[in-house]
Structure 1
Amino acid sequence: MATERPRTTPVARVLQGCLHLMVAGLLALAVARALLGPGGDPVAVVAAGTAMAAVYAAGPLIGAVRRARPGAVLPWLALLGVTWVGVLIATQDGVWLAFPLCFVELHLLGRRGGLVAVALTTVVAIVAWSWHQHTLNFAAVIGPTLGAAVAVVTVFGYQALHRESEERRRLIDELTAARAGLDAAQHAAGVLAERERLAREIHDTLAQSLSSIQLLLRAAQRALPDRTEAAADYVEQARQAAQDNLAEARRFVRALTPPDLENTSLAVALERLCATTTAQAGLPVRLHVSGDQVRLPVPHEVALLRIAQSALGNTVRHAKASHAEVTLSYMDGEVALDVFDDGAGFDPARAGVTAGGGDGGFGLPSMRARARALGGTFAVESAPGEGTALAVLLPVVPTTEDSP
């Protein structure tokens, strides 16, 4: 008999089988001793043993008993106890059955109820043995008591191991799920990083080369001495092919642009970022845009958006600020991004960071690397209790959709 569990392990099934065999074997031994020797009245022993075997065998067949429901377990155990007492009265060999009965009671009644039932079973076994022997001695007490103690230690030890095994299994399931989520996040991050890298490489190599070809061919058209019609036609065809390929390269770059910049400007993407941060983190963030907005090269817009995302992420996680401000400034040949918060701030020197360079924590090296990769500058100003100001300045040449 076993308590209801989420799952029955192979070890538990083996123990159940051994328990059933023990009860059957001890009953058979008591009956055999009664039939073959001085083991009590054979008729009484056979009748009591048969009754107990029938009640015990019915237990596993009753679903409520198998699932350890108190409403069914208690009557069944009471009836089993009555038949066992009948065996005890018929023969002193019935004392042996106290040991497997202790296992049954501990499994079905739990810790507190099981201990009470085991104590009662032990007392009954001691009394019955003493009654048959017509004396109460040390052996009559120590035998059933030691058997009950072994049963208690064995059952509670197994239950502790089972709980530990289930807890370990649950932790393994959680770790497996967390690892799967981490793998998915790393894959998504890798895809975005590769998209940005390809966009930057195409813009800096293929697009620039095609643009140069187009300019050279346009100059060649003007430099032809007689502007012969055939030569001019070939040059025009080459220039047109270069222009078509340049347009295709730009479409490919746009396709690789981060989703936040698809079909929208940098200012709109930053406005959306500020609104999202305010809504999700509860940190008021305002965006200020100055100067005439122009379309920037894709790598520049990607870098500025990613720097703003990282800076606001740091503010939410570390700064404990009451508000933050993001400023995007368009100037002649330059674009500036400033992020300020009034949070706890930090000591750049202790963080391993200086305002003009160096390496440090809080994602600053990544922001600095992005700015420097585009020929820009990156600066951090902060002090404990005085907030943090972050400034990025990039040199740019505004682009248009149809520019060479």
Structure 2
Amino acid sequence: MLTTRRARILVDVFVGLQVLLTLVSAVIVAAEGMWREVGLGLAGTVVVIVAWVSYRRGRSRVAPPLLLVGAFGTAFTDTGVVSVGFMMLALAIMVLEVGLRAGLWAAGAVVVGLAALTWSVRESWAAVLFQTIGNVVVMTLGLIVGLTLRQIRAEQVENQRLLRELRAAIDTEKELMLADERARSARELHDGLGHRLTLISMSLEYARRVRGRDDAQAWSEVENAQVEAKDALAYMRRWVRALNPPREPNLEGIAALEAIADSFRGTGLTVRVAQNGDEQQLGKDASLFAYRLVQEGLTNVLRHSAADQVAITVNWREGRMEIELRDNGGAVGEGTPESPPPGQAADGGFGLRSLSERARELGGSFEVKRDDDGVVLQGSIPVGSGV
């Protein structure tokens, strides 16, 4: 079939107009009393319609020969414009669906057939030669159109194959990143929470052994266990918030950033949100990018940083929003073991890479850096993105 729905519709219109011209020509010929030609022309028109309907229903190898036969029939009632148009279409479809060799054989048969028809009507070698030259040119154009369509379809098939491979590779990369992130999170959770639970167990075990002999020491160990239990609970809450950050889909702009910042303040972080300039209307995609940047930054601080303060600053420029998230210490990225020197950009994990890709898609930029105070996330995007 033709490569796109738009192309099929355009050819549908072309065939419809050609059929209409054939009917008009048949009426003119009928007025001159040439009833045999009218019959052949109408029969050819019916064959053309059947051939095109067959092609549109997927019978791609049957349609081109039928179109050629029908085109010869329409030649009896017109001056050659309509029939030649049908023949060009038939040759193009034959090359597209069958191949160039079949198209060349069909083109040769068309040229010879039309020459014989011209000779039988006009009985002039000059007219036959002139008509044959024109038919060769037209048939060549039909072959070129068919080759072009065949090349376009081959490229589309190849592009679809490459797209499937790219999507598969992206999905695989995502799975590997997520698996690595889960493994890293499991290790950190095991080390942090496991250490605290071990201390609680040791304190309670020691209190049990000295109970009755040294009650004061036993109660002291119980108090230590209680402190460690509270610390473990706070640590667990931080991880739960980091692994499942809140979402505020009904808020936009500064209100959305303030809401997510507030939800992280209960984890022990001091989060400040400020803006410079007059707030502008954000597009859907721009608003989502800003929300994800803050969410990802705060989540990384909880999971991988020793920072206890985060400053979020939004600068409104002419047609752009610049957003900065800055903490006061800790490693860069999602579980990155070492931080780069101050001023040097850092490669983060999957979340930060996604933010960088999304910023480029929106016509903006995103980067992660380390300065003397801590980690800095900076993003800049047009405010109307995704309106």
**Superposition TM-score, scaled by structure 2 size:** 0.48
Q: Greater Rg, structure 1 or structure 2? A: 1
**Superposition TM-score, scaled by structure 1 size:** 0.46
